Structure 1
Amino acid sequence: MSGFGPHCDIRRNDAHEVSASASLDGVMWLELEGAVNIRDVGGIPTGDGGSTTAGRLLRADNLQNLSPSDVSYLVDTVKLTTVVDLRTLGEITSEGPAPLTRVASVEHVHHSLVPERAWDTPDALLARRREEQAQHQGDRTCGAYLGYVEQRPESIVGALRAIASAKGPALVHCAAGKDRTGVVVAFALTVAGALREHIVADYAASGERIEAIIKRLSASRTYAEDVARIPIDGHRPLPETMAQFLDQIDLRYDGVHCWLDRNGFTASEVATLRGRLRGQA
């Protein structure tokens, strides 16, 4: 995997280490007790020779199990101000209030990328998978991502607006932090001018944590049955999936920027989001 930027190592000096650390490949992981796939997307190279700015956008898996120490770190050290939740209302209701929802200084916005229906019944799952396959014959996961942009464009646009308007660092998450979150972050990084190969690499980085992600989801009554349907490697995000998805966005919509324009995300909003992610606003 290509490097994202300079080595970074930001740590709290206490018994419970909560850190934002970059491995040799430059991924800026945050090591928390209650989330296993959380990272800062700063330091990703852009086409103009720059990079995205750290401390502006984080991506994560489910935040239901954050410990008090995790919450303190995100609120007091990271200075998190906005959480963008991409899960369905069914997921949110089943999981119950997350610890960060009790923090008055953190705004929570909800933008489901999946149509609000009984998605967790066997019949609904089968119907959805058929729809996904129809979207893109070569890769069902890519088909699911294309389904997001076709079925819930207003949610993708809403999520990007929330990131752009955040008063401080924003965090976008779903359940695993790789699929729905991956699509929104890929669009955001494209607006920021990130090189496509590095957008793909950021997406694939969740594969480094897939065993821990699936272990955590398997312990939840909300997700256990669904994740058990597929072998663990079937959950692993593949770089070719995101590459194919972005290629399909180019073929079908003339690229991310044209898709955004067609769905009401204005040139001014593009500039604001780009400025936020590049440290210019």
Structure 2
Amino acid sequence: MTTTSSALTNLRPVGGPALQADRPRTVFRANPEPVGAEAYPADLAAVIDLRRIDETNAVPHPLATTGAYRSVPLFDPAAEVESAADAVELEDQYIDWLDRHRSGIAAALRAIAATDGDVLVCCSAGKDRTGIVSALLARHWGDSLDAIGEDYAASAAGLVDRFARERAVSADPEATANAQRCVPEIMTTVIDHVERRWGSVDGYVRAIGLTDEEIAAL
């Protein structure tokens, strides 16, 4: 029997409440824990689940039966691997994803742009795939690199118990600890890469196929 807790441990508005204070809707980020519906923000217009289909089949999202739920896998199923073998550090993996999984990133951003109302974006931990989408959104909205790094690193506190459990059963605790890294420099490195290569986050978003109208709707 699955037990439910009363709160999501890694739930917050993308960029923190102040960044979206004057916007007509709020985009939240979270991890999909086995919680009751009351733990989620009220009146969500869309729940965008970035996990693979095998992940969502194994652990269905608590809101999967609602009309707001959208399965939008970030990892492109056509890609041979999740990330390149030499992309060992998280920042290198994320940078690899920007090209390898651009179709999934574009689909997630389109789903947000097409939604009239509050949105929740989630993945397994609410840190990696959710972190990429959240950082792109926050920078598009004008957030500073430092603030984006701090928002990414804020997941560390919410996931501390989960990470401890994962390390305790890991066959390779060092690799697990590396995958759990959650410091500001990871995401600031990624956004800096985006801006050096594509000129801006909007330049990247256009490169992966979003139209000016879709970008404006974000």
1:211-263, Cα deviation, whole Å (9 max, x unpaired): 123257679xxxx6588563547513111111111111122222211111112
Task: Give the number of the structure with larger relative contact order, counting CA–CA contacts within 8 Å between residues 6 or more apart.
Answer: 2
**Contact 2:194/2:200 (<8 A) preserved:** yes
Distance 2:93 2:65 in 1: 32
**Contact 1:214/1:227 (<8 A) preserved:** no
Superposition pairs of residues 2-17 of structure 1, within 5 angstroms: none
1:106-127, Cα deviation, whole Å (9 max, x unpaired): 2x222323243899xxxx78xx
Paired AA for residue 102 in structure 2: P
1:210 aligns with 2:174: no
Tell me the equivalent position of 2:43: 79
Q: How many residues align?
A: 213
1:243 aligns with 2:188: yes
Distance 2:144 2:108 in 1: 21
Tell me the equivalent position of 2:70: 109
Cα shift at 1:84: 0.8
Distance 1:40 1:185 in 2: 9
TM-score w.r.t. the length of structure 1 is 0.66
1:262 aligns with 2:207: yes
Which of 90, 93, 96 pairs up with 1:147? 96
Q: CA separation of 1:251/1:238 partners in 2, compared to 1, >3 Å: closer, same or farther?
A: same
Q: CA separation of 1:37/1:216 partners in 2, compared to 1, >3 Å: closer, same or farther?
A: farther
Which of 39, 63, 67 pairs up with 1:100? 63
Supply the RMSD in Å over aligned alpha carbons: 3.0
Runs of 5+ unmatched residues, structure 1:
1-31, 134-139, 274-281
**Contact 1:178/1:203 (<8 A) preserved:** yes
Q: CA separation of 1:268/1:115 partners in 2, compared to 1, >3 Å: closer, same or farther?
A: closer
Cα shift at 1:94: 2.2
1:156-184, Cα deviation, whole Å (9 max, x unpaired): 11111211222321000111111110000
1:36 aligns with 2:9: yes
Distance 2:58 2:79 in 1: 13
Cα shift at 1:131: 4.2
Taking only the aligned residue pairs, the percentage that are identical comes to: 28
**Contact 1:37/1:213 (<8 A) preserved:** no
Rg: which structure is higher?
Answer: 1
Runs of 5+ unmatched residues, structure 2:
none
